[in-house]
């Protein structure tokens, strides 16, 4: 069967990067940072030489996560072609609270997706597709209750498939404060993973030009604190996390987890996105500054890494993600998206002290990371950790 992959541990196509040379532990001047790096790696040691070398070549502390840190813009090595620090990066606790009080754009909203198509459900639900739909309704309901608890002022819209609707489920979500927004289903590309085919519907977020900003969230997320500040964040914005163990082989130390995006809808951007999706893994891609096919080859065949046994060129069910996360990575390859702090999108894979976890505003409850829920050191967030696996 198809191998399951999960967000930050998934395998998107990686741009080439220079080789990294090994160094000795003694070359590190800061033993405290060295211990933190060890803690990030856990029991994994196979990628140790590359990890330590990359830390020496860059800023070692940049890869140590905290609630306010923006790993990519802080300098932690990543295969993305570039990023920019958002205005929310590096804020202290009091500054972060003040940012929450800043008025959001008049036309800003949170978006969750309930776009459902029985033929695109995951393998586990093929014979009972309604179970997949019911699980997503439970996840969205859990999110809405958490949003009510933290008194978010941003309106919340649940995007549903225009040709497949469940009025009873929609009424239940509206009773929890959501509004329903019908939209066409975005057909998954030929390279999509069977596990992630419905995720491409989130591309439609760019078409909702009635909004100036949209914050697109996975359904399996929960709010620990208010996130109204995202209503005035720069776009496009997303969060980089410490990379998973296997990525250390590839020189990837900070990776995007595609559970939260801040986007600025635009008819032109939406049209460009659909063209880009249709052309992904063709010889040439569409450059964002050129309406015609450009001569760059960001989507041409590139190995994801040079570790023996892991050289792959495109999604084949084993080495790349095959989700909309892979699309966004390619779509924004030349755009240098903005980096949001980890407090706006934390997973249980992230290892931080209790004081940092107390500042986390959004928790992504990825089912594949359930074994790491013990890392969630905030009692409030631990109580909210529900996976709705069935």
pLDDT of residue 210: 96
pLDDT of residue 248: 57
Question: What SS3 state is found at 177?
Answer: coil
Domains in the chain (CATH in brackets) are 66-285+320-389 (3.90.550.10)
d(CA 201, CA 112): 11
Helix (H) or strand (E) holding 94: helix 93-101
pLDDT of residue 195: 82
Residue pLDDT tens, the chain, 390 long: 333 333 445 433 333 333 332 223 333 333 444 444 444 444 344 444 555 555 555 556 788 899 999 999 998 888 788 899 999 998 877 666 666 666 666 799 999 999 888 777 777 777 788 888 899 999 999 999 999 999 999 999 999 987 788 999 999 999 999 999 999 889 998 888 888 888 999 999 999 999 999 999 999 999 999 999 999 999 999 999 988 765 555 567 888 888 999 999 999 999 999 999 998 876 433 333 334 433 333 333 333 343 444 333 333 333 457 889 889 988 998 889 999 999 999 999 899 999 999 999 999 998 888 888 999 999 999 999 998 876
Check if the beta carbon of residue 3 is closer than 8 Å to that of residue 317: yes
Nearest C-alpha neighbor of 67 from the set 381, 385, 370, 387: 381
pLDDT of residue 306: 39
Residue 357 CB partners (closer than 8 Å, separation 6+): 67, 346, 376, 377, 378, 381
Check if the beta carbon of residue 240 is closer than 8 Å to that of residue 255: yes
Tell me the backbone φ, ψ of residue 298, rounded to 5 degrees: -60, -25
Nearest C-alpha neighbor of 91 from the set 276, 344, 333, 295: 344
Helix (H) or strand (E) holding 181: strand 179-183
| Structure tokens that stand for 127 in this block | 């014979």
**Residue 341 DSSP symbol:** P
d(CA 217, CA 202): 9
pTM: 0.78
pLDDT of residue 1: 38
Check if the beta carbon of residue 185 is closer than 8 Å to that of residue 165: no
d(CA 166, CA 37): 48
| Structure tokens that stand for 117 in this block | 């198509």
**Residue 269 DSSP symbol:** H
Q: In degrees to the nearest 10, what's the CA dihedral of 308, 310, 313, 319?
A: 170
Check if the beta carbon of residue 144 is closer than 8 Å to that of residue 176: yes
């Amino acid at each position: 069967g198809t191998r399951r992959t999960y967000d930050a541990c998934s395998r998107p196509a990686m741009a080439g990067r220079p080789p990294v040379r090994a160094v000795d532990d003694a070359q590190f001047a800061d033993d405290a940072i060295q211990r933190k790096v060890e803690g990030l790696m856990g029991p994994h040691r196979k990628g140790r030489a590359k990890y330590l070398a990359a830390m020496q070549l860059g800023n070692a502390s940049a890869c140590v996560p905290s609630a306010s840190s923006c790993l990519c813009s802080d300098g932690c090595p990543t295969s993305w072609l570039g990023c920019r620090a958002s205005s929310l990066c590096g804020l202290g606790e009091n500054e972060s609270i003040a940012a929450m009080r800043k008025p959001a754009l008049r036309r800003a909203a949170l978006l969750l997706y309930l776009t459902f198509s029985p033929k695109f459900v995951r393998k586990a639900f093929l014979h009972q597709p309604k179970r997949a739909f019911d699980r997503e309704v439970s996840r969205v309901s859990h999110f809405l209750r958490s949003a009510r608890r933290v008194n978010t002022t941003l309106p919340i819209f649940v995007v549903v498939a225009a040709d497949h609707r469940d009025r009873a489920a929609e009424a239940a979500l509206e009773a929890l404060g959501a509004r329903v927004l019908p939209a066409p289903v975005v057909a998954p590309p030929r390279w999509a993973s069977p596990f992630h085919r419905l995720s491409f519907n989130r591309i439609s977020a760019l078409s909702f030009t009635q909004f100036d900003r949209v914050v697109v969230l996975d359904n399996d997320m929960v709010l620990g604190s208010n996130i109204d500040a995202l209503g005035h964040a720069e776009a496009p914005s997303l969060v980089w996390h410490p990379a998973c163990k296997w990525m250390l082989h590839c020189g990837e130390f900070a990776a995007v987890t595609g559970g939260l995006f801040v986007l600025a809808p635009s008819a032109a951007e939406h049209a460009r996105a659909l063209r880009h999706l249709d052309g992904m893994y063709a010889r040439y891609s569409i450059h964002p500054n050129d309406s015609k096919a450009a001569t760059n080859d960001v989507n041409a065949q590139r190995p994801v890494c040079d570790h023996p046994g892991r050289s792959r060129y495109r999604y084949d069910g084993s080495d790349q993600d095959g989700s909309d996360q892979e699309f966004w990575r390619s779509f924004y390859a030349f755009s240098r998206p903005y980096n949001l702090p980890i407090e706006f999108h934390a997973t249980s894979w992230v290892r931080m002290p209790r004081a940092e976890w107390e500042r986390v505003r959004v928790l992504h409850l990825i089912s594949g990371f359930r074994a790491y829920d013990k890392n969630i050191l905030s009692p409030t967030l631990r109580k909210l950790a529900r996976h709705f696996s069935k």
